[in-house]
Structure 1
Amino acid sequence: MRKVTFKDLEDMHSFTSSKEVTKYIPFPTHKNLEDTRKFIDYLLEQYQINKKLLWGIQLKETSKLIGTIEFVTFETAHNKAEIAYVLSEDYWGDGIMTEAAKEVIKFGFKSLNLTRIQARTFKENIGSQKVLNKIGMTYEGTLRKSMFIKGDYQDINMFSVLNEEYIRTTE
């Protein structure tokens, strides 16, 4: 995992322009390279002011960017953060996101001293929920019609893992 750069423009566009990949993601599907360029520009600005903890997920063999994972929210007053991720559909089911999410959770608890890490998914996003279960998160419930995304109110499933749960499973 690493920071995203403008060298990743075409790789990132290949998955952010996929309707299947962005189906359960709050941001709109990128229509063209300019949409992706603007997003990378935003990321680079956020990196400079230390406002974004987002990593690109790359293939080890080729360095090709195939997804991203981030702490989409970070609340220092409560020592909690929320992870979010996106992965090219060409790599779904390969365990790549599970591996990346485990590393981000480890970083959150060990380096940032978080108490809670959470994640939200569309109720229909079974693939993402499988990842969250594999990384030790617990389903907490469904927030009914809690977000207006993509023109409709969405039911959102909430998952979390606490630092003490993480420590128990890694000892």
Structure 2
Amino acid sequence: MAQLNDREIDLEQPILETPRLILRKIMATDLSAIHAFTSLDVVTQYLPFDTHQSHEQTKLFINFVLDQYDNNQLAPWGIELKPYKKLIGMIEYVFWEQENDTAELAFVLTNTHWGKGIVTEACQEVIKYGFTTMKLQRIQARSFVENIGSQKVLEKCGLKLEGILKKRLFIKGKHRDICMYAIIKDDDNRKTN
């Protein structure tokens, strides 16, 4: 347990469940499932990491994630579609400014499941967890301006566009314009008290 601002915060990452999904810790046995989508250019084109070229590259990523869990650090939930019992994506808070009660949300989903509301369902659950368990006041997310699909997900989850950060990140060989989205607890319509 961490102590911050006179309150204890449990950093242990729980399993979260929605009607169609289980959000759980990634395991070493997820190697093939994760590599199946991190090795696709169409999936990674808007992500800050390069497309995985080998299973070894994916294994290094999984080992990093497992180490994050062991050290009680932020790490992704795997998105498991209940009928398939295998990972089809990941969702996480990529940073958490505890002193400001702010965190940033990020996600990835295999392209064969795009357009089915899966990421929206996962985001809604992780946002609820952020406002209740993590005691966040602000949840933000960034998107390349070209990534219309992710922007639609964020808007469905109640995040609002705050602005476009011109040439904010140098990723994959060029400077990128980034859309900044956010939701604050006071504006959240879910029951998060």
With structure 1 as the length reference, what TM-score do the two structures score? 0.97
In the alignment, structure 1 segments of 5+ residues that lack a partner are none
Aligned to 1:20: 42
- Structure 1 residues 10-45: Cα deviation after superposition (integer angstroms, max 9, x where no partner): 000000000000000001100010010000000000
Shift of 1:63: 1.1
Aligned to 2:59: 37
- Structure 1 residues 100-140: Cα deviation after superposition (integer angstroms, max 9, x where no partner): 00000000001111010000000000000000000000000
Shift of 1:143: 0.1
Structure (1/2) with the larger helix percentage: 1
* Alignment partners' CA distance in 1, 2:75 and 2:61: 15
* Alignment partners' CA distance in 2, 1:30 and 1:140: 32
In the alignment, structure 2 segments of 5+ residues that lack a partner are 1-22
Aligned to 2:139: 117
Of 92, 95, 104, the match for 1:70: 92
- One-letter code aligned to 1:98: T
Aligned to 1:94: 116
- The answer to whether structure 1 residue 83 and structure 2 residue 105 are counterparts is yes
Aligned to 1:127: 149
* Alignment partners' CA distance in 2, 1:62 and 1:127: 23
Shift of 1:52: 1.8
Q: Identity of counterpart residues, as a percentage?
A: 49
* Alignment partners' CA distance in 2, 1:130 and 1:16: 22
* Alignment partners' CA distance in 2, 1:59 and 1:158: 28
SS at match of 1:25: coil
Aligned to 2:69: 47
Aligned to 2:24: 2
- Structure 1 residues 41-97: Cα deviation after superposition (integer angstroms, max 9, x where no partner): 000001000112310001101211000000001000100000000000000000000
* Alignment partners' CA distance in 1, 2:161 and 2:170: 21
RMSD, aligned α-carbons? 0.7
- The answer to whether structure 1 residue 170 and structure 2 residue 190 are counterparts is yes
